[in-house]
Structure 1
């Protein structure tokens, strides 16, 4: 509250100082007018034969004007004093002119000159001085005292007539002075605001209090400053926020650039690993093809072995059949040997009955019997051998059958292995194709990552440029003091 009062007092003091400067300039003008009027009255006095009066009275009035200028410069005393002096010069001109109406015009002219003060006081004092002059000098002229002349034809009607014009002019001049004073105060307040704005060299202070502005123009100007202050304050806050966002974007882009570089290196490593995997997949596919060919060859060899085993089985079947046929033949031989033995035995019996005649026949029968026994024994041996061979053949046949079954299983396993190897080969080819596609995709991703790296680099450059622009805008706004 106290600060506001001090601000208002300071504003009033500044306004008074500004008006005082106007009054001081008007004092200089009034002094110059007085000096000019002294020269004019001396010229008129010399023309009408009243030079001494003009010199003396004009000199006194001019000296008084100088005293007001140097002793009471820009004060109320000087304003009122110069108003009295100007109307006194008008009265002197009227005296020298013998009261002619033309010289009364000087009153109106000099009253108008008092507008230089832009104040009602000099006008009121001047009008009062003119009224006093007319009334007093009219009285003195009517009584023929001191040689005073104010009208060609004196009379109170002339006084009232002239007073009417003076009053009318004074009212008009007061109205003009009022507006000129308001304009002066507005100009003073605007000048104060301008001084406040430029109070710091190189900076513009936009903080202004509407309470320090009294005139509408100054209030409008102050309101405009307030609007500019609010706008620039928003711009400043936006610039600060934008600068913060620019720094955040710059940091994020830096982090993104680092991550993108890391991704680029990781993709390069993945591409190298994929190239190695592609080579391994190609080698695996070649090996799978070779294994498939070997499996196919093994299957062919196994099929050939299977056919050989089947042929061996057939031969074993044939041997078994032949052994059975030999057994049948041996049975026939056994029957023959048995019959022969019986016959030889019967022959021996008959030979022994025959006596001496049958001895030779008995020897033959004995030999035949012996041969039959040898044949029977040989047939038994052969049977044993045939049985052993048959058993061996049956064992071989069983082994061949087992070998055939085993060969069938091997064939099935080899077929399954061939199918698996074929599937593995196809899978290797698909894997190689997939790895090739992945390699192309990774190459495309790597190209995109490289584009992203360049884009991030450009974004970083633009972010730096944006930050420099924001800093430049901040520096430009820093000219305005908004706080």
Structure 2
């Protein structure tokens, strides 16, 4: 397992910022540095005619470090071991350089390199190792033991002097390491949150973090993600409601458009029927005017006929009166004929008494009596004719009176008909005006309906655009996952 981890050092992108990944990369970097120190040690040994010692010690240190890196990758033991090895390389360089001050600088450089782990413990380990090295090797160099070299001029004061520099640097590096570790932990927690967000390719997952963050930055980032999650959940819910509302609005507008089109068609039919009714009303009004004029003319003719009937009645009355006068005259003639007849009888009597002298007078009396009889007969016939004429005249008068009453009724009916026709004509005029007003209202309603049709069409278009935009917004929000 350790071998597999070493041979496959590349972790997923979300683990690159984790503290363990940083330290594993630092392990590889320190191993490379150790191999570089192996080459530097060979060069320094060659330059100081001590290549064999430098090659043996540096090779042992390098091989041991490689083996530890393969057995304990990413562990604290490996970090402490590498710190020890690096300080051992610094001691080797100082020894190979015969204690020259320039080689002591490697201590500070290698201690600074230990910051790559963002861990204060390897720094303390390295400082302790180099301090122990200076103290022990100074003692061995002063006593000439094993041929070791640490200072060009030995003495405890040199150990203290170098130790002060190491302590100060180590303190500064420890503070930096602690701060870098905190930053790394924050970055690791943020990277873990980012890994949760990007765990599904092509989507951003805003699930609730089950692991509480330790760093303030990570907590702030987690709180921000929580707020964003709540906001986006609300936006997603509102988008769903908006999409449903826009769909319902589009359906209702479509239904309204159909009803409006049907209403417009019905209104057009009503307008056509109203226009036909207006034409019929106009023609009816014209016909009513003509009938009123004919009724007026008939009323005048009836009045004239009534006047003629009244004149006829008057004429018949006059004829009846004249018949009465003729009847009186006939009575007078009849009396005269009677008196004449009596006188002729008397004359005949007297002529008979006169004898021969009275014959001529008797003839005259006879003729007078015949004339009187004939007059009386003619008077009787005239009286009969007058009686018949008077009866006929009376019947004619009665018929004429009946005709006058009938004509009067006709005139009254014609007058009533004319009044009704005048009212009908006025009603036709009012109806025509009302129909014209209704035509205007229907035209106004038709204009409003047409405007509503256009408005509904525009509303449907806006609703479709809104639905498309809502769909696009929903697709844009769909990249976020909430669980």
TM category (shorter chain) comes to: 0.7 to 0.9
CA contact (8 A) 1:123 1:173 kept: yes
Matched, 1:419 2:451: no
Bigger CA drift: 303-312 or 328-337? Answer: 328-337
Aligned pair in 2 of structure 1 residues 15, 122: CA closer, same or farther (>3 Å)? farther
Bigger CA drift: 381-390 or 214-223? Answer: 381-390
CA contact (8 A) 1:250 1:460 kept: yes
Aligned length: 469
- What residue in structure 2 maps to residue 116 of structure 1? 116
| 1:274 CA displacement | 2.9
> Could you say what secondary structure the match of 2:189 adopts?
helix
Counterparts of 1:473 and 1:19, CA distance in 2:
38
- What residue in structure 2 maps to residue 78 of structure 1? 78
> Could you say what secondary structure the match of 1:212 adopts?
coil
In angstroms, what is the RMSD of aligned CA positions? 3.2
Counterparts of 2:172 and 2:373, CA distance in 1:
190
- What residue in structure 1 maps to residue 308 of structure 2? 308
| 1:85 CA displacement | 0.9
Counterparts of 2:251 and 2:49, CA distance in 1:
98
> Could you say what secondary structure the match of 2:18 adopts?
helix
Deviations 1:108-167 (A, max 9, x none): 221111000001121121122122223322333344432333344444444344333322
Bigger CA drift: 425-434 or 133-142? Answer: 425-434
CA contact (8 A) 2:140 2:148 kept: yes
- What residue in structure 2 maps to residue 23 of structure 1? 23
Q: How does 1:12-161 map to 2 (within 5 A)?
A: 18-161=18-161
> Could you say what secondary structure the match of 1:299 adopts?
helix
Deviations 1:352-378 (A, max 9, x none): 9x6869976788778766765665565
CA contact (8 A) 1:210 1:219 kept: no
Bigger CA drift: 171-180 or 327-336? Answer: 327-336
Q: How does 1:136-285 map to 2 (within 5 A)?
A: 136-209=136-209, 211-285=211-285
| 1:301 CA displacement | 2.5
Q: TM-score, normalised by structure 1?
A: 0.85
> Could you say what secondary structure the match of 1:74 adopts?
coil
- What residue in structure 1 maps to residue 6 of structure 2? none
> Could you say what secondary structure the match of 1:191 adopts?
helix
Counterparts of 2:310 and 2:17, CA distance in 1:
138
Counterparts of 2:17 and 2:173, CA distance in 1:
24
CA contact (8 A) 1:193 1:208 kept: no
| 1:337 CA displacement | 4.5
- Gap regions ≥5 residues in structure 1: 1-13
- What residue in structure 2 maps to residue 477 of structure 1? 477
Bigger CA drift: 380-389 or 87-96? Answer: 380-389
Bigger CA drift: 268-277 or 332-341? Answer: 332-341
- What residue in structure 2 maps to residue 294 of structure 1? 294
Aligned pair in 2 of structure 1 residues 17, 454: CA closer, same or farther (>3 Å)? closer
- Gap regions ≥5 residues in structure 2: 1-13
CA contact (8 A) 1:210 1:222 kept: no
- What residue in structure 2 maps to residue 9 of structure 1? none
Bigger CA drift: 338-347 or 470-479? Answer: 338-347
Q: TM-score, normalised by structure 2?
A: 0.85
| 1:84 CA displacement | 0.6
CA contact (8 A) 2:193 2:209 kept: no
CA contact (8 A) 1:303 1:411 kept: yes
Aligned pair in 2 of structure 1 residues 418, 16: CA closer, same or farther (>3 Å)? closer
Counterparts of 1:27 and 1:200, CA distance in 2:
31
- What residue in structure 2 maps to residue 5 of structure 1? none
CA contact (8 A) 2:17 2:187 kept: no
Counterparts of 2:129 and 2:16, CA distance in 1:
27
Deviations 1:395-420 (A, max 9, x none): 32233233223212211211222232
| 1:193 CA displacement | 1.8
Q: How does 1:458-477 map to 2 (within 5 A)?
A: 458-477=458-477
Counterparts of 2:196 and 2:381, CA distance in 1:
151
- What residue in structure 1 maps to residue 395 of structure 2? 395
| 1:178 CA displacement | 1.0
| 1:248 CA displacement | 0.5
Deviations 1:250-288 (A, max 9, x none): 211221122122223323332343344344334434433
Counterparts of 1:49 and 1:203, CA distance in 2:
64
Counterparts of 1:41 and 1:280, CA distance in 2:
125
Bigger CA drift: 441-450 or 290-299? Answer: 441-450
CA contact (8 A) 2:87 2:110 kept: yes
- What residue in structure 1 maps to residue 4 of structure 2? none
| 1:46 CA displacement | 3.4
